Structure 1
Amino acid sequence: MKILITGGNNAKALKLMKAFPSHFVLLADYGDVPGIITEKYAFSSLCLLNKDSIAHILLNFCITEAIDCIIPLHDFEIEPLAKSAVLFGEYGIQVLLPDADVIADYIAEDKQSFQNFAVYIHGDCIYSSEENAVSQKLSSSFNGVFGYNQTNDLKLFTI
């Protein structure tokens, strides 16, 4: 599986790579990005930032790079991608976010620093940075990367 993590120039993106040890991870960001390619990951540029066409830029990039799953970390990408998840799905690309109608419940009102983060796919916690994390099964439509300080207060892991 080929996974795209946006915000690739940020340390949070590098931390998130630990959740996908058996997949190829493409770390991408807007503007200048280091040209590093390894067996397990690579860095790539998403070109210049244009917030008015984020979903289009990312869909085009995902199709061109044969991406299977996208994890948006920039806060300005969250809402447009959640609203476009069905379109991405038509191209076989999973957008790792909660459904657009509930996404606001998981957006932090202020920039928070989280002690831990967890990755949920179809309601299952597939990775947690906390060793003894409680991983209860959630709704099968529950997807995303969430930061938390207390496990009952999940907020999207964004930059």
Structure 2
Amino acid sequence: MYTLITAANSSEAYALKNTLTAADVLLGDYLELPEILIRSGKIIKLPDPADASYAHRMLTLCLDKNIKAIYPLRRHEIDLLLNSRQLFSEYGINIFSE
């Protein structure tokens, strides 16, 4: 099981990662990321929150990558994921915000 922290290109994401006790933490972002980090598996590419199917694409990503917890850091991501919290919880995925 993995924990996902969004906004991987921010220092806030790395600070949060250092406070979590979960061994399997993934960082992800929808903004442009260095290809070498994506290929290495250290960071994953996330769906763009501007996409109308964002919540469903995030759910699919979580199921594919065995992600059981999400820490969204950008306001737009937080709002969209919290609006879909019930859907995610039906699959055993927790969304944590502030």
Secondary structure at 2:67 match in 1: coil
Greater share of helix residues, 1 or 2?
2
Q: Which amino acid aligns with 2:66?
A: A
Alpha-carbon contact 2:49-2:76 (below 8 Å) kept: no
The amino acid across from 2:85 in the alignment is: A
Name the TM-score, length of structure 1 as normaliser.
0.53
Aligned residue number for residue 13 of structure 1? 13
Q: Matched residues in 2 for 1:11 and 1:86: separation? A: 29
4+ runs deviating over 2 angstroms: 31-34
Flag structure 2 segments of 5+ consecutive residues without an equivalent: none
Greater Rg over alpha carbons, structure = 1
- Taking the TM superposition and a 5 Å limit, the aligned residue runs for 1:75-154 are 75-96=75-96, 144-145=97-98
Unaligned runs of 5+ in 1: 97-143, 146-159
When residues 7 and 26 of structure 1 are mapped into structure 2, their CA distance, relative to the original with a 3 A threshold, is: same
Paired residues, number: 94
TM normalised by structure 2 equals 0.82
More relative contact order, 1 or 2 (CA 8 Å, 6+ apart): 2
Q: Percent identity?
A: 36
